[in-house]
């Protein structure tokens, strides 16, 4: 099962450890999207306005 809470916690720890600059909503979406794509290799991810995340399983 997908643990979204843990992924978000891991993302902010990653941002802090790499000193990634997040200066607006777009940069947050961009960095979060890159991070989630690396972590969720079997998922399709769409980021919409105001950080609404839609995840669905990839049919293989």
pTM comes to 0.70
Summarize pLDDT for 1-57 with one digit per residue, the tens.
778 889 999 999 999 999 999 998 888 888 998 898 898 888 777 766 554 455 555
**CA nearest to 28, candidates 12, 43, 6, 42:** 12
Q: Which long-range contacts (CB under 8 A, 24 or more apart) does 1-4 make?
A: 2/40, 2/43, 2/55, 4/53
């Amino acid at each position: 099962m997908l643990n979204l809470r843990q992924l978000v916690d891991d993302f902010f720890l990653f941002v802090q450890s790499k000193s990634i600059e997040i200066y607006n909503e777009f940069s947050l979406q961009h960095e979060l999207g890159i991070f989630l794509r690396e972590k969720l290799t079997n998922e399709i991810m769409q980021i919409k306005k105001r950080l609404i995340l839609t995840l669905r399983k990839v049919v293989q």
